[in-house]
């Protein structure tokens, strides 16, 4: 879940974005995002409007007070990031296989 952090360095922004990229079908509220990232909800609150304004995630009202967020899979940059993460995962698997076969 921390692939973007590992690639670009630690960042709340990247951690939140990576969480949504790894869970593209899930709606999550503020508390759920903070819990999964082991972050303070206040720090996550600072990041969410940026991601919404950039159209990377969408916001949905549930009732009068609760909102949920979800990855915007129609965004071209989001699609490119998903492909990047997929390629990084495939590369990591290939590297593990190659290093495992050379140590046998």
How far is it, in rounded angstroms, from Cα 72 to Cα 52? 9
Into how many domains does the chain fold? Answer: 1
Q: How far is CA 7 from CA 10, 19, 31, 84, 94, in A?
A: 9, 15, 26, 11, 17
- Answer yes or no: pTM beyond 0.95: no
The pLDDT of residue 1 is: 46
Could you report the per-residue pLDDT of 92-104, keeping only the tens digit for each?
Answer: 888 777 777 655 5
CATH number at residue 66: 1.10.10.10
Please give the distance of CA 26 from its chain centroid, rounded to a whole number. Answer: 11
User: Which residue range is the domain that position 65 belongs to?
Assistant: 3-102
How many angstroms separate the CA atoms of 30 and 40, rounded?
Answer: 10
| pLDDT tens digits, one per residue of 24-69 | 999 999 999 999 999 999 999 999 999 999 999 999 998 888 899 9
What is the per-residue pLDDT for 103?
A: 55
- In this predicted model, which residue has the larger pLDDT, 35 or 86? 35
């Amino acid at each position: 879940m921390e692939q973007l952090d590992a690639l670009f360095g630690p960042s709340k922004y990247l951690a939140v974005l990576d969480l949504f990229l790894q869970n593209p079908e899930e709606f999550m509220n503020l508390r759920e995002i903070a819990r999964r990232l082991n972050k303070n909800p206040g720090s996550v609150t600072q990041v969410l409007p940026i991601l919404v304004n950039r159209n990377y995630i969408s916001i949905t009202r549930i009732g009068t007070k609760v909102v949920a967020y979800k990855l915007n899979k129609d965004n071209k940059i989001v699609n490119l990031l998903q492909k990047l993460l997929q390629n990084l995962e495939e590369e990591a698997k290939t590297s593990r296989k190659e290093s495992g076969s050379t140590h046998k």
